[in-house]
Structure formats: C-alpha cells, structure tokens
Amino acid sequence: MISNEKKRQLQELAINIRIQCMKQFGHLGVGHVGGSLSCCDLMACLYGEILNVDPKNPGWEERDRFIMSKGHAGPAMYAALALKGYFPEEELLTLNQPGTNLPSHTDMNRTPGVDMTTGSLGQGFSSGLGIAMGCQLKGLDNYTYILLGDGECDEGQVWECALFAPAKHLNRVIVFVDFNNRQLDGFIDEVLDLGNLCEKFETFGWHTVDVADGNDVEQICSAVEAAKRVEEKPSLIVLRTVKGKGCAFSEGNPLNHNMPVPAETAKEAIEELEKRKADLA
Ligand SMILES: Cc1ncc(C[n+]2csc(CCOP(=O)(O)OP(=O)(O)O)c2C)c(N)n1
C-alpha cells in the first residue's frame, strides 16, 4: 500500500504527464491522444514509484526495463521521461518533427530511457521477453515491465509470448494491458473479442490481477506489489482504463485514437488539467 502522501504525488505526476502530452500534441497539431492519455496514471506509477532506473545513467545494466509495446503511446512515455530528468522538457515540443529524438513511436536508438524500438503491435512483447531472458541469464534480479494495448492482444505474437514466458520461467516479468475497450476504429469486443483475458493467461501459467480502475494510482501500485509477491510465475495485470482519460475533448470521444489537436484545444485541456491539479491539494 502506498502512503496518502505518495498517492497525492503520483496523482499530481499523472496530471503533469497529461499536461506534457497536451503540449506535445498541441504543438504538432495531431497525435495518438486516446491511447496516450489512458496510460498516464501507469506512467506516473512506473516513473514515480516502481521502476528502479537512473536518468543520469540510462544504460545502467541492473536497471529495471520498461517496454512500451503499444509504441504509438510514445508521447505519454516521453512526458514521463522528461519529467524524470532524462532530457529537457523543451525537447518534447520536437515530437515527430524532422530530426527529432522523439518519433511518434518509441525508438531505442533515439531516446534516452527507451529500452526497445516498438510500433509494430505485438513485437514489443517478444522483445521484452528476450530482454528479460538476457537479464535472467546474466543473473540480474531486475524486473522487466511491458505495456500492451487491448487491441494489440489480437496479435498472434501475443499468444506465442503468453506460452513462452511461463515455459521459460521468466518470473520477473510484469505485463500490463491497457484495457481501454477500444482499438483504432472500434470496440474490442466487436473487432475481435478477447473474452476473459485473465482466465486465459492463467491457463497458460501466469499470475494475473484484474484492476477495476486502471486509472487509479493506488490500485495500480497495489497490483504491482501483489505481482511481486508471486515469485514463481510471470504476472499479467489488466488495467481497466478509459481511452482519452482526463481531458474533456478526448474522453468518451470515439474518434480519439489519432486525432487533430489544435493549439487552442490543447490550451483549454491544459487549463482543465491545471485546475484539477489545484483541486488535489
Ligand atoms: C502490427 C500492426 N498492425 C497495425 C498497426 C496499426 N495500429 C496502430 S495503433 C492500432 C490500434 C491499437 O489498439 P490498442 O492496442 O487497443 O491501443 P490503444 O487503444 O491503447 O491506443 C493499430 C491497429 C500497428 N501499429 N501494428
């Protein structure tokens, strides 16, 4: 259980991550708003509490690894990395511009703190398991965290990974699914119903946690604590989230997957977020 003070800090960090997302999108004029905003609370928990990393030494061998397998949510990760001190906040305004270190999808060759290049859905899960296996072979006791989208779970590669991790005893792997119920242009259960994801992964040999409010920092941290107590299995944490969470123009908007964000819209969204931050205190 995190303390009340920590909870407030993480809630504030999540709002700051959303603000930095809006700055990026507003400057570019467009972006993957829905899937970035749904995972900002997780980004806050990871970079504000869970990950054992050092922004001054991004290549530190013993660090925990985080792979943003749903690579189109790069802006949420970039916001968290900048706020953690990996690079200056002003650099966020270069998102997806020519010559940038922040391409729309995460790229390990460009951005300090990014451990794997992603964007082709499903592949980050395989790469992450490869990284976890390498760490295990080296005798490191770090964790590898991977974030999948719910739509991403339609990829066949995900199910190869589901089989592989328990079979190879990759027990220091914690996989999150950002279950925001929507993918690019439709509802998950209409495009290809995933059924009960936890039940399915359990039959493959995983420990699972179903988090009722995946936008609640306390519930996210508790699920990770529970996962770490299970030492003999990899863990899957399903986060029930809201696509486009936190901004009036995007939350509940069915067209929020990749949408225009005029500067004025971003400005209003930032004002809305600043107000929510003031209300936290
Ligand atoms: C292999 C592959 N197929 C298609 C795409 C195009 N694509 C990008 S995002 C997306 C939808 C992903 O949905 P989901 O995983 O639910 O992400 P979220 O809703 O969290 O943004 C698709 C189909 C891709 N990036 N990779």
**pLDDT for position 7:** 98
pLDDT at 281 over 80: no
Q: What mean pLDDT do residues 53-75 have? A: 98
182 phi and psi angles, rounded to 5 deg: -130, 155
CA of 69 to the centre of ligand 1 (A): 10
Percent of the chain's residues with pLDDT above 90: 99
DSSP-derived 3-state class of residue 268: helix
Q: Is the CB of 71 under 6 A from ligand 1?
A: no
CA of 241 to the centre of ligand 1 (A): 16
Q: Which CATH number do you get for residue 98? A: 3.40.50.970
Q: Is the CB of 205 under 6 A from ligand 1?
A: no
**pLDDT for position 201:** 98
User: How many separate domains does the chain show?
Assistant: 1
| Residue from 182, 178, 107 nearest 147 by CA | 178
pTM of this structure: 0.98
Alpha-carbon Rg for the chain, nearest whole angstrom, is 17
Q: Residue 102: which domain range?
A: 4-280
The residue assigned the tokens 């199910």 is: 159
Q: State the amino acid at position 271 in one-letter form.
A: E
How many CA atoms, within 13 angstroms, populate the side-chain half-sphere of residue 275? 9
**pLDDT for position 116:** 98
How confident is the model over 218-272, as pLDDT tens digits?
999 999 999 999 999 999 999 999 999 999 999 999 999 999 999 999 999 999 9
Question: Which atom of ligand 1 lies nearest, measured to the CA of 123?
Answer: 1
**pLDDT for position 165:** 98
Largest CA distance in the chain: 51
> Which residues are CB-contacts of 193 (< 8 A; sequence separation ≥ 6)?
none
How confident is the model over 2-24, as pLDDT tens digits?
999 999 999 999 999 999 999 99
DSSP type of residue 187: B
DSSP-derived 3-state class of residue 23: helix
**pLDDT for position 119:** 97
pLDDT at 71 over 80: yes
**pLDDT for position 81:** 98
How confident is the model over 183-221, as pLDDT tens digits?
999 999 999 999 999 999 999 999 999 999 999 999 999
Q: Is the CB of 196 under 6 A from ligand 1?
A: no
DSSP string covering 44-108, please? HHIIIII----TT-TT-TTS-EEEESSGGGHHHHHHHHHHHTSS-GGGGGGTTSTT-S--SS--T
For the chain, the average pLDDT equals: 98
CA of 240 to the centre of ligand 1 (A): 17
pLDDT at 48 over 90: yes
**pLDDT for position 245:** 98
C-beta atoms surrounding 210 within 10 Å: 17
**pLDDT for position 251:** 97
